[in-house]
């Protein structure tokens, strides 16, 4: 009899945990840290994450399915509204919600009632235990945490408060220990050997987008979408050839992304290829080109059909 098959049905602590919070709180960093590998892209810029990204942490005694989400903010434009909608949807589908904050940021002012009411409104949709995760404690003194805890506890009755540093992997064991008692027992929801349900194509597009976020300024990152047009592996030598389109919103953005003599695009390609080779564990030939789709971020059909919102 095959014991491997039997063990995968053995019930363990198993459940879904959503990572939500304002842009830049460190949700994707925490997800990668708990997974011990990079699945979700991270940059210093807000609104890096645009989709829900699933990461599966497997141990003998548990399986934690993390859902990384776009940052919660007051969104007006179609793309941003879709992003917030995805984040809010995840609140209702999970066993535990982790509300992340960057503790190095100033607290909302006493009179900033709009901001506070917005948080309370978002959190009202939560029907499961929710923890306040105070991230980036490496940036300040522990005693400075008290006012943060006080201010946010007044806004929502969190079940626990956990200070940590996702960047330094400090306090994350305590986080896991706080999550586990809140998860039901059951068979694993995902096979033990795959860390995400995202396709390789999606992860490759995300890596390219990350490099554009890191290497361009102003509005360019927010005007960029990446579409993988082909993805082929040569069976003989293992070389993977990927054609990807960098989609911009306006003609004037094209020379910025291409750069003088194609320098910028080349540098984005070099950085992306390195990470893609690591991800796929094979040699990669990456072909990037830039195209314009006027105002794509406001085009609901494009968002749906090309970006899967």
8 Å CB contact between 55 and 126: no
Angle at the Cα of 113 from the Cα atoms of 129 and 80, rounded to 5 degrees: 70
Q: Is 71 in the site for ligand GDP (CB under 6 A)?
A: yes
Q: Which is nearer to ligand GDP, 42 or 265 (CB)?
A: 42
Binding residue (CB under 6 A) for ligand GDP from 13, 52, 116, 136: 136
Told to check if 171 binds ligand GDP by CB under 6 A, we report: no
Residue 186 CB, nearest approach to ligand GDP (Å)? 28
For residues 167 and 56, what is the distance between their CA atoms, to the nearest angstrom? 19
From the list 47, 49, 58, 90, which residue makes contact with Mg ion (rule: CB under 5 A)? 49
Taking CB atoms, the residue at the shortest distance from ligand GDP is 26
How long is the chain? 309
Closest alpha carbon to 245 in 209, 199, 195:
209
Q: Quick one: 136 or 264, whose CB is closer to ligand GDP?
A: 136
Close Cβ partners of 115 (under 8 Å, ≥ 6 residues apart): 108
Total residues in contact with ligand GDP, by rule CB under 6 A: 20
CB of 47 vs Mg ion, minimal distance in Å: 8
**Do 27 and 35 meet the contact criterion of CB atoms below 8 Å apart?**
no
Distances (CA, A) of 253 to 216, 246, 299: 10, 11, 18
Q: Which of 20, 34, 42, 245 binds ligand GDP (CB under 6 A)?
A: 42
Contact 147, 161 (CB under 8 A): no
Our finding on whether 165 is near ligand GDP (CB under 6 A) is: yes
Q: In this complex, which beta carbon is closest to ligand GDP, that of residue 94 or of residue 166?
A: 166
Query: Among residues 296, 199, 186, which one has the least CA distance to residue 245?
Result: 296
The yes or no reply on residue 47 touching Mg ion (CB under 5 A) is no
Beta carbon of residue 22, minimum distance to ligand GDP (angstroms, whole number):
7
Partner whose binding site includes residue 25, from Mg ion, ligand GDP, none (CB under 5 to 8 Å by kind): ligand GDP
Nearer to Mg ion, 28 or 253 (CB): 28
Nearest-angstrom CA–CA distance, 28 and 199 = 17
User: Does 52 interact with ligand GDP (rule: CB under 6 A)?
Assistant: no
Running DSSP on this structure, what letter comes out for residue 16?
Answer: E
Verify binding: residue 28, Mg ion, rule CB under 5 A: yes
Distance CA 211, CA 109 (A): 35
Should residue 135 be labelled a site residue for ligand GDP when binding is judged by CB under 6 A? Answer: yes
3-class DSSP state for residue 282?
A: coil
Q: CB burial class (10 A; 0-12, 13-18, 19+) of residue 152?
A: buried
Q: Contact between 23 and ligand GDP (CB under 6 A)? A: yes
CB of 139 to ligand GDP, least distance (A): 5
Site of interaction with Mg ion (CB under 5 A):
27-28, 48-49
Binding site for ligand GDP (CB under 6 A): 23-29, 42-44, 48-49, 71, 135-136, 138-139, 165-167
């Amino acid at each position: 009899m095959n014991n491997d098959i039997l063990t995968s049905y053995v019930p363990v602590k198993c459940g879904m945990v959503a990572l939500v919070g304002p842009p830049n709180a460190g949700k994707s960093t925490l997800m990668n840290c708990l997974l011990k590998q990079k699945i979700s892209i991270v940059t210093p810029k807000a609104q890096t994450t645009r989709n829900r990204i699933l990461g599966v942490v497997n141990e003998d005694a548990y399986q934690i399915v993390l859902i990384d989400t776009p940052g919660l903010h007051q969104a007006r434009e179609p793309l941003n509204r879709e992003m917030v909608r995805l984040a809010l949807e995840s609140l209702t589908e999970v066993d535990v919600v982790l509300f992340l904050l960057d503790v190095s940021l100033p607290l909302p002012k006493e009179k900033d009632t709009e901001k506070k009411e917005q948080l309370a409104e978002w959190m009202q949709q939560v029907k499961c235990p929710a923890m306040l995760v105070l991230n980036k404690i490496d940036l300040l003194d522990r005693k400075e945490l008290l006012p943060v805890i006080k201010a946010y506890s007044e806004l929502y009755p969190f079940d626990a408060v956990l200070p940590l540093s996702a960047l330094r992997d400090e306090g994350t064991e305590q986080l896991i220990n706080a999550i586990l008692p809140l998860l039901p027992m059951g068979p694993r929801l995902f096979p033990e050997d795959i860390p995400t349900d995202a396709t390789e194509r999606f992860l490759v597009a995300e890596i390219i987008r990350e490099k554009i976020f890191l290497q361009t300024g102003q509005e360019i990152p927010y005007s960029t979408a990446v579409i993988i047009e082909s993805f082929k592996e040569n069976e003989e030598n293992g070389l993977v050839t990927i054609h990807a389109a960098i989609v911009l919103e306006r003609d004037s953005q094209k020379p910025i992304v291409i750069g003088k003599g194609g320098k910028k695009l080349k540098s984005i390609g070099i950085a992306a290829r390195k990470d893609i080779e690591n991800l796929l564990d094979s040699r990669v030939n990456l072909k990037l080109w830039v195209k314009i789709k006027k105002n794509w971020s406001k085009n609901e059909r494009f968002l749906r059909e090309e970006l899967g919102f």
